[in-house]
Amino acid sequence: GELTSLKRFQIKYCKGIRSLPDSIRKLTNLEYLAIDGCSTLRKWCESQENKMKLAHIRWKVWACPTIYCIAFILAPTI
């Protein structure tokens, strides 16, 4: 089924996930995306091309426990 009403999505310690599907754009109600302990997926999200796919998400959190950093990014469309 479709998850169009999904508002929060969190992925933790899934090293096997390398990317998100293009259909992430269809999750128009998604307000919060958190990625923790998935370095390859985090890099995918940070690439210029893929930032456009995530532009509709208001809050994005990339956590990197190995260097103890958390970046909160507020999308420009408030």
Render pLDDT for 11-70 as a digit per residue (tens, 0 to 9): 998 889 999 999 999 999 999 999 988 889 999 999 999 999 999 999 988 875 544 444
Classify residue 3: in a domain, yes or no: no
Instruction: Tell me the β-bridge partners of 33.
Output: 9, 60
| Rg for the chain, CA atoms, rounded | 12
Quick check: helix, strand or coil at residue 42?
A: helix
- pTM score, whole prediction: 0.74
Where in the sequence is the domain holding 61, given as residue range(s)? 8-74
Classify residue 44: in a domain, yes or no: yes
What share of residues in the chain are helix, strand, coil (percent, to 5)?
25, 30, 45
Classify residue 2: in a domain, yes or no: no
Classify residue 66: in a domain, yes or no: yes
Classify residue 1: in a domain, yes or no: no
Question: From the centroid of its chain, how far is CA 20?
Answer: 8
Of 40, 18, 31, nearest to 61 by C-alpha is 31
